[in-house]
Chains A and B, each alone.
Chain A
Amino acid sequence: MVTIKEFPKEEYLLKGHAACAGCGPSIALRLLFKALGNKVIMVVPACCTTVIQGPYPYTSFAVPLQNMLFEATGATCSGIVAALKIRGLEDITVVGWAGDGGTVDIGIQALSGAAERETNFIYICYDNEAYGNTGLQRSGATPYGAWTTTTPTGKRERKKNMPLIMAAHKIPYVATACPSYPVDFVNKLRKAREIRGTKYIHVLTPCPTGWRYDTSKTVEIGRLAVQTGIWALYEIENGRFRLNSPSDRLIDKSKRKPVREYLAMQDRFRHLTEADIEKIQQWVDEDWEYYRKLASNECV
């Protein structure tokens, strides 16, 4: 376990990247490189990171990066891993880094295939809960009620639970994270690197542009997501579910802040009715009942 003081000083996300001010994914990216160093080959499909890295002939990444088709991250990683194996370069960590759209929607097939083939790589879904690159349309990971440009009156369906879908693949490591908890995220990445097989980490990355809040509030919003329990930090290692700090203290409902606090900070939820907020609160409580069972091995 590293502490924040032990984080390496090296920066592999270089100055001059093109993310919006206050961009949650770019904080996660910086942490990713701090955790894994530069013996990494990355695959990035079409997403905000296509823009963040900067246009040709520049790049803001100090690791080799293969830009790839929107839906093909998993399969591309399989190809790279196979080639590195043939070349005897298995100490290089292959990382797929994709948005929620590229993961839970159009890319789910290639990711599922790569996981089923036990491809030895880390797949990270950075979840800004919309299609950021194309102007903030809804995705399967957009939560109920949220405004997006294709759900102008709020999304009517619930968020797809991708980490549990990945856990159903029986891969050795699934984890959730949030850059507001950098130590947790970095340690999860370090752990994932040491495990053979497919590792899936789903990072909730607040997006001021899409979620409509002040750019200075990204870390705070991420914290609130965790403190209200709308996002839980956990890992599933070889099928064993464990809540991580501070989520592990939130099974008791009285310890969780009301989701209203989280929702109220973001204009994408501005139009929600009282009934909507209650419904969301009820779903969160139900999720936690499920986490409680998972954590106490009452179900898998």
Chain B
Amino acid sequence: MAQIIIDTANHIAGYAAKAARVKVVAAYPITPQTTVVEKIAEFVESGEMDAEYIRVESEHSAMAACIGAAAAGVRTFTATSAHGLALMHEALHWASGARLPIVMAVVNRAMGAPWSIWPDFSDSLSQRDTGWIQFYCADNQEVFDTIIQAYRICEDERVFLPAMVCLEGFILSHTYMPVKIHDQEEIDAFLPPYKSGWILDVNNPFSHANLVSPEWYMEFRYMIQEAMENAKRLIPEIDKEYGQRFGFQHGGLIDKYQCDDADLIICTMGTMGSEAKIAVDNLRKEGLKVGAARIRVYRPFPVEEVKKLAEQPSIIATIDRHISFGMEGFLASEIKASLYHMEDKPLLAGFIAGLGGRDVTFRTIEEIAKKSLKWMKMGRVEKETVWVDLRE
């Protein structure tokens, strides 16, 4: 029986791992991820979840244990944040290179120094090139649904890649919201038992991931690129099928809101996407044609959809909860790169906001929108990158 519960996104991630019938969890605590693994420990100890819980001594080992378990033929899950994710970095490359469909919740938190426990995307975005699919969630229901969807996508033979399901620390991780936990039988029907491309098998011995000469290495990399392209096609299909089965759909690659006739599209990731919708409603009341697009899947990046999105507006404003030092926000760069070959490009305005957990409310977004509309009228942006609410 499906049930609606009111709980935090972290606990919900635990419910999702249970619902996905994960068999091995290996994790190490870090704020604000801790309650994910506490919840799972509870499920495992009480017998509600038939899984092995490996209490590793570091995040590097958490990912290594997931790699071992996935290679030995079972579904795995872990969760981490910030410094834990950074410590895993080497193993992230290994997991995708080994084509293991591991799913991980990343509870976004800013990187130190200085220490911060509050959210931004600097942790997961610095793992951009590790070969992991990256989803960014806007609410707790999406966290649940995306974890279930992620297994289906990662374990598809056209993909066989790992995925991060990112959710912002505290804004989601510790915030209670009603969430529908779908019927287990229906989840089982949607998500078949674990599948991976290969398995450690004493009856079929082979060396996995041994030394590859320059003759072959590029082909292995190309296959990952192909898998990413396949995932890009698959994600909207699976989101749609999920919607038909469970009544919840989250926008596929890009969650679009009021974009069809928009002069300005505000482009965000994560929870800022929810705030942007409120801002759009308010601005529309003032007669301003504003829309919002939340990039739900950052890797593979939805280049084609972004191009389509860009046909309508005269300006796109990106809000990055992240800065690539010496350049700009990643989202700003990706959108620019996506539109390079377009003939009639809209203006692009880049905003950096919400670093280290600074609040980005709908009011902040309304201000960003008004500034962008001003630039639209001027026909040029006055500044390539604006740091919002900066004390100068």
Contacts and interface: CB of A to CB of B under 8 A. Distances in A.
Nearest to A39: B202
Interface in B320-343: none
Contacts of A215: none
Contact of A83 (B50, B69, B90, B205): B69
B24 interface: yes
Contacts of B202: 38-41, 63-64, 92
Interface string A31-51: 000000011110100000011
A190 B19 CA distance: 41
A110 B61 contact: yes
Contact of A67 (B26, B65, B66, B209): B209
Contact of A113 (B56, B73, B205, B207): B56
B68 A75 contact: yes
A55 to B, nearest CB: 4
B186 interface: no
27 contacts: A38-B202, A50-B210, A51-B211, A66-B208, A68-B94, A69-B91, A72-B60, A72-B67, A75-B26, A75-B56, A75-B58, A75-B60, A78-B54, A79-B65, A79-B71, A80-B68, A80-B71, A80-B72, A82-B74, A83-B72, A86-B50, A86-B52, A87-B73, A87-B74, A110-B60, A110-B64, A117-B56
A77 B205 contact: no
Contacts of B50: 86
Contacts of A56: 207, 210-213, 216
Given A65-B206, A68-B64, A110-B60, 13 more contacts: A41-B202, A54-B207, A65-B205, A67-B207, A67-B209, A75-B57, A75-B62, A75-B68, A76-B64, A79-B65, A80-B71, A83-B24, A83-B68
Given A41-B202, A85-B52, A113-B61, A80 B69 contact: yes
B380 interface: no
A92 B52 CA distance: 17
A59 B210 contact: yes
A78 B68 CA distance: 7
Nearest to B208: A66
A142 B304 CA distance: 56
Contacts of A62: 205
Contact of B65 (A41, A76, A112): A76
Nearest to A67: B209
Most buried by B among A59, A78, A85, A117: A78
Given A75-B65, A79-B64, A117 B205 contact: no
B23 interface: yes
Interface residues of A, number: 45
B207 A53 contact: yes
B171 interface: no
A53 B216 CA distance: 17
Contacts of B208: 64-67
Nearest to B66: A79
A74 B51 contact: no
A66 B209 contact: yes
A109 interface: yes
Contacts, number: 161
B200 interface: yes
A87 B72 contact: yes
Contacts of A80: 68-69, 71-72, 200
Contact of B71 (A54, A66, A69, A109): A66
Contacts of A220: none
A64 B202 CA distance: 6
B65 to A, nearest CB: 4
A63 B61 CA distance: 24
Contacts of B207: 53-54, 56, 59, 61, 65, 67
A286 interface: no
Contacts of B52: 82-83, 85-86
Nearest to B71: A66
A116 interface: yes
A112 B71 CA distance: 22
A54 B211 CA distance: 7
A129 interface: no
A83 B74 contact: yes
B54 A117 contact: yes
A71 interface: yes
Contacts of B68: 43, 66, 68, 75-83
Closest 9 CB pairs of A and B: A79-B68, A75-B61, A113-B57, A83-B72, A79-B65, A72-B64, A59-B207, A79-B69, A82-B52
A84 interface: yes
Interface in A67-119: 67-69, 71-72, 74-87, 92, 109-110, 112-113, 116-117
B39 interface: no
Nearest to A41: B200
B204 interface: yes
A157 B205 CA distance: 41
Interface string A173-205: 000000000000000000000000000000000
A38 B205 contact: yes
B180 interface: no
Contacts of B51: 86
Contacts of A85: 52
A25 to B, nearest CB: 16
Contacts of A92: 202
Contacts of B216: 56-57
A239 to B, nearest CB: 23
B240 interface: no
Contacts of A64: 200-202, 204-206, 208
B60 A71 contact: yes
Nearest to B24: A82
Given A80-B200, A86-B52, A109-B57, A75 B64 contact: yes
Contacts of B70: 79, 83
Nearest to B25: A82
B171 to A, nearest CB: 31
A86 B210 contact: no
Nearest to A61: B207
B55 interface: yes
Contact of A82 (B54, B94, B204, B205): B54
Contact of B57 (A86, A87, A110): A110
